Amino acid sequence: MHISFLATLGYLLSVTSAQSIFTPARPPSLPLAVKSPYLSTWFPAGSDGGNGGYLPGQWPRFYTGQVLGWTGLVRVDNETFTWMGAPKGIPLANQKSYEYTSSKSIFTIEANKKVSLKVTFLSPLTPKDLKRQSLTFSYMNVEVLSLDGAEHSVQIYTDISAEWVSGDVDVTAQWDFGLMNDVVYHKLSRQNQQKFSEFNDRAEWGNFYYATTAQNGVTYQSGADDDVRGAFVTDGKLPSSNDTNFRAINDRWPVFGYGISLGSVGASPVSTLFSLGLCQDEAIQFLGADGLAILPSLWKSYFADDLAALTFFHKDYPESSKLSSDLDDRISKDSIAAAGQDYAILTTLAARQAFAATQLVGTGDKHYLFLKEISSNGNTQTVDVIYPASPIFFYTNPDLIKLLLDPHFENQESGHYPNKWATHDLGKHYPNATGHPTGDDEPMPLEECSNNIIMVLAYVQRSGDTDYIKQHYTILRQWAEYLVEDSLFPAEQLSTDDFAGHLANQTNLALKGIIAIEAMSQLSSLINKASNAQNYTKIAHDYITKWQTLGLNTADDPPHAVLNYGNTSTWGLLYNLYNDKLLNTNLVPQSVYNIQSGFYPTVKENYGVPLDTRNRYYTKSDWELFCAAIASEKTRDMFINDLARWVNETPTSRPFTDLYQTSDGSFPPGLEFKARPAVGGLFSLLLLEQGKSGRL
Ligand SMILES: *[C@@H]1O[C@H](CO)[C@@H](O)[C@H](O)[C@H]1NC(C)=O
Ligand SMILES: *[C@@H]1O[C@H](CO)[C@@H](O)[C@H](O)[C@H]1NC(C)=O
Ligand SMILES: *[C@@H]1O[C@H](CO)[C@@H](O)[C@H](O)[C@H]1NC(C)=O
Ligand SMILES: *[C@@H]1O[C@H](CO)[C@@H](O)[C@H](O)[C@H]1NC(C)=O
Ligand SMILES: *[C@@H]1O[C@H](CO)[C@@H](O)[C@H](O)[C@H]1NC(C)=O
Ligand SMILES: *[C@@H]1O[C@H](CO)[C@@H](O)[C@H](O)[C@H]1NC(C)=O
């Protein structure tokens, strides 16, 4: 359904370059194996570091830009061509098209005008199926057929290099090869395991696997890159031998290859499936109710060991692919219905990236979803990153929000955080959620207290789980009290946009706090605390009346909200207004929405509306889409069309940034945000539409 739909409509809207067609758009970086903070492999496309998006001729990279050797070759009637990567001296096959869905990247590549390959990278998305979602593996399916009516003798080759096991190419890798349950696998790891440690954002512990189905025609080899690839070019197969000389990643670059004979290939397609991923028994260090604990990966609760998980995953392709396609179709159809094809360009690109910043950990009884604040600073479980990402989680499975908030409640309710406001994060660096027992986190008191209260109400509205309020009422009230003190006249502090600096009396931040006070009233109501409910709603209504006088400049033509009170010429994206619609708090009059809808088009630049008057040159795409979701149709479409155009045209080549210059679409100097889960916020409009259709 989805494919045929894209084939008819999508192609009309696609971007055509010299050779390849990109559908529905040409992303800055194409997702290949994108499943968790440590399995995040991309293909740079944008002109600033990428090759336009052609799989043959350039190496895949980790989101940081570090090369991950991953090769694809095809041998047709004794002649060999490269379809992925940049191995030396092997001519390139010709890419015809690239298409992405929420879970898949699909390349069509021709070799010598004789055969066509359809290479599908599937990073499964199963938000309601935690067993499958917990597995940090990804698929690559290679389908080959003859193009010219003749039969051709075809062998395919693929390898990964030892670069996958560490961010430091000087360290020693070790490896093994095996067979289990009709699946053959290369296993590779860093020899000196460094549990819970990173090097350049890469995991320095765990085992990587590269597997395929054990069948006739499969050969394998480990060894130096040129030797292994050379053997395939010469013979069309590998000697099925092991290099037992464990050595540094950069010492005659060991690679782990398969050569697979497909025999004689005609018009009916022949396919081969590969599975690739990372197994870590222990995933997170967490300071929770029981003190400091080590949390296993959640898949450990379903599978005895790495190989049980790997072989299940490999054989699960039909079911996993179906579940992912169902979600692909839903996201695509809902997005097009909500705001058209340009909106689907955004949501579809954001889905994998948002989920891939997360990891399911713990046990069947007690599990959590942990999130890495990728690229901005690596913090664990940052509240003001969970919050912008939350629309995709609410839309796909609201229980995931509970799994993200639970560790926060557990840590702060067991006395591990001394401040009266909510903490910013649970650890300075992923995968350590060791908290801030001395209260030394980056302080964003108003921001985080509000975010927590807003997300709890949005969760309860969708789940009906009022027990959740009862369990956490004491600390929710503690945070609400802080909001009562600080929301109307916010002290000089940071908002989530910390790169923009401290400021007192921020109009947008005050609005978030005031809506959160009203949300606290509703939470109180839901558990029959009527007098608290009345008190909070009275305060919120009083504040919002005053806020309209303090925060709006209605004398200007056109009128607009100001960035900070009394600073009449300033303005900014009033994205926290979204919460009033999300929660149905109906606190803010329609006139405020109308004012902002009328204003944004008057300050827009080439690729969008700048974040605020402090920094006219950049904006945040998540916040633009929060504003779009509650704007008039015309203003909404302006935001969406500009951002979709940015996706096609940006020179950036790192995974979908949420921070870019509105003039030329590049990164702001020194601020290279990439692969962040905040792009989950692009689901803002889908979430509101879901609310309207009663599908909560
Ligand atoms: C491929 O090479 C083999 C062995 O050298 C040879 O027998 C065969 O005829 C060649 N096939 C083609 C299509 O050139
Ligand atoms: C996590 O904490 C451990 C000590 O328990 C430390 O060795 C490791 O480097 C930390 N990881 C990161 C990414 O900071
Ligand atoms: C390669 O290593 C694997 C695992 O140790 C072993 O099963 C296999 O027989 C070895 N292959 C050769 C050709 O020695
Ligand atoms: C915030 O605004 C109010 C009202 O304009 C003003 O009295 C107060 O001094 C401002 N606060 C700060 C910290 O500037
Ligand atoms: C209402 O809330 C304020 C501020 O949190 C508090 O000081 C006051 O005691 C509350 N009143 C009642 C009746 O609960
Ligand atoms: C008004 O805003 C501008 C920039 O947005 C800032 O530089 C200036 O300090 C602000 N003035 C006051 C009084 O807050």
Largest CA distance in the chain: 82
Quick one: 306 and 407 in the same domain? no
Give start and end residues of each alpha helix (H) in 552-677: 578-582, 590-603, 621-629, 633-649
Quick one: 473 and 576 in the same domain? yes
User: What pairs with residue 42 in β-bridges?
Assistant: 31, 61
Nearest-CA residue for atom 3 of ligand 1: 78
Q: Which of 637, 544, 644 is nearest to 591 (CA)?
A: 544
| Angle at alpha carbon of residue 626, lines to 617 and 688, rounded to 5° | 165
Q: Which of 566, 689, 679 is nearest to 622 (CA)?
A: 679
List, chain by chain if needed, residues with CB within 6 Å of any ligand 5 atom: 481, 484, 531, 535
Among all bound ligands, the one having the nearest atom to the CA of 78 is 1
Nearest-CA residue for atom 5 of ligand 1: 78
**288, 306, 322 — which closes off a domain?**
322
Classify strands 104-111 and 115-122 as parallel, antiparallel or unpaired. antiparallel
Nearest-CA residue for atom 7 of ligand 1: 78
CATH of the domain at 667: 1.50.10.10
Determine whether the shortest distance from the Cβ of 242 to ligand 3 is under 6 A: yes
CA distance 460 to 379: 27
Determine whether the shortest distance from the Cβ of 567 to ligand 6 is under 6 A: yes
Q: Are 269 and 145 in contact (CB under 8 A)?
A: yes
Nearest-CA residue for atom 6 of ligand 4: 489
Quick one: 289 and 433 in the same domain? no
CA distance 433 to 415: 15
CA distance 309 to 311: 6
Rounded to 5 degrees, what are φ and ψ at 47? -65, -20
Give the side-chain half-sphere CA count within 13 A for 244: 1
CATH of the domain at 63: 2.70.98
Closest ligand 1 atom to 78 CA: 1
Distance, CA 94 to ligand 1 centroid (Å)? 23
Establish if 282 belongs to a structural domain: yes
Q: Are 71 and 229 in contact (CB under 8 A)?
A: yes
Quick one: 472 and 599 in the same domain? yes
User: What pairs with residue 115 in β-bridges?
Assistant: 111, 146
Establish if 246 belongs to a structural domain: yes
Distance, CA 313 to ligand 3 centroid (Å)? 23
Give 562's DSSP letter. -
Establish if 392 belongs to a structural domain: yes
Among all bound ligands, the one having the nearest atom to the CA of 203 is 2
Q: Are 682 and 350 in contact (CB under 8 A)?
A: yes
CA distance 511 to 345: 30
Determine whether the shortest distance from the Cβ of 78 to ligand 1 is under 6 A: yes
Residue 694: the pLDDT is: 53
Distance, CA 306 to ligand 2 centroid (Å)? 23
Residue 16: the pLDDT is: 41
Quick one: 388 and 294 in the same domain? no
Determine whether the shortest distance from the Cβ of 562 to ligand 6 is under 6 A: no
Distance, CA 449 to ligand 5 centroid (Å)? 18
Determine whether the shortest distance from the Cβ of 613 to ligand 6 is under 6 A: yes
Nearest-CA residue for atom 4 of ligand 1: 78
Distance, CA 551 to ligand 4 centroid (Å)? 12
**322, 349, 384 — which closes off a domain?**
322
Distance, CA 535 to ligand 5 centroid (Å)? 6
Establish if 14 belongs to a structural domain: no
Quick one: 109 and 183 in the same domain? yes
Cis peptide before 431 (omega within 30 of 0): yes
- For residue 207, the one-letter residue type is N
Distance, CA 241 to ligand 3 centroid (Å)? 7
User: What pairs with residue 61 in β-bridges?
Assistant: 42, 67
Q: Which of 680, 643, 674, 650 is nearest to 28 (CA)?
A: 650
Q: Which domain holds residue 651?
A: 372-693
Q: Are 574 and 508 in contact (CB under 8 A)?
A: yes
Residue 673: the pLDDT is: 98
Quick one: 272 and 377 in the same domain? no
Distance, CA 532 to ligand 4 centroid (Å)? 28
Can you list the residues of the chain whose pLDDT is less than 50?
1-17, 695-696
Quick one: 579 and 640 in the same domain? yes
Residue 696: the pLDDT is: 43
Establish if 364 belongs to a structural domain: no
Nearest-CA residue for atom 5 of ligand 2: 196
Quick one: 37 and 99 in the same domain? yes
Distances in Å between the alpha carbon of 645 and those of 26, 342, 648, 672? 10, 8, 5, 20
Ligand 5 pocket test, pick from 420, 485, 535, 537 with the greatest ligand atom count within 8 Å of Cβ, gives: 535
Residue 10: the pLDDT is: 40
Closest ligand 3 atom to 242 CA: 1
Establish if 12 belongs to a structural domain: no
Q: Are 24 and 31 in contact (CB under 8 A)?
A: no
Which pair of structure tokens corresponds to residue 94? 């010709």
Establish if 210 belongs to a structural domain: yes
Closest ligand 3 atom to 240 CA: 13
Q: Is 270 helix (H, G, I), strand (E, B) or coil?
A: strand
Rounded to 5 degrees, what are φ and ψ at 537? -70, -35
Distance, CA 155 to ligand 1 centroid (Å)? 13
- For residue 388, the one-letter residue type is P
Which secondary structure element, helix H or strand E, spans residue 460, and what is its range?
helix 445-463
294-313 tens-digit pLDDT = 999 999 999 999 999 999 99
Among all bound ligands, the one having the nearest atom to the CA of 487 is 4
Quick one: 243 and 387 in the same domain? no
Q: Give the list of residues 6+ apart from residue 287 with CB closer than 8 angstroms, or none.
A: 293, 411, 416, 426, 433, 434, 435, 437
Determine whether the shortest distance from the Cβ of 199 to ligand 3 is under 6 A: no
CA distance 335 to 338: 5
Quick one: 276 and 387 in the same domain? no
Q: Give the list of residues 6+ apart from residue 142 with CB closer than 8 angstroms, or none.
A: 72, 117, 118, 119, 156, 158, 271, 272, 273, 274
- For residue 442, the one-letter residue type is E
Quick one: 380 and 316 in the same domain? no
Among all bound ligands, the one having the nearest atom to the CA of 482 is 5
Distance, CA 563 to ligand 4 centroid (Å)? 13
Q: Are 646 and 627 in contact (CB under 8 A)?
A: no
| Count of structural domains within the chain | 2
Establish if 515 belongs to a structural domain: yes
Distance, CA 505 to ligand 4 centroid (Å)? 6
Burial of 602: CB neighbours in 10 Å, binned 0-12, 13-18, 19+: exposed
Distance, CA 614 to ligand 6 centroid (Å)? 8
Among all bound ligands, the one having the nearest atom to the CA of 112 is 1
CA distance 664 to 686: 28
Distance, CA 197 to ligand 2 centroid (Å)? 5
Determine whether the shortest distance from the Cβ of 174 to ligand 3 is under 6 A: no
Distance, CA 546 to ligand 6 centroid (Å)? 21
CA distance 330 to 320: 16
Determine whether the shortest distance from the Cβ of 241 to ligand 3 is under 6 A: yes
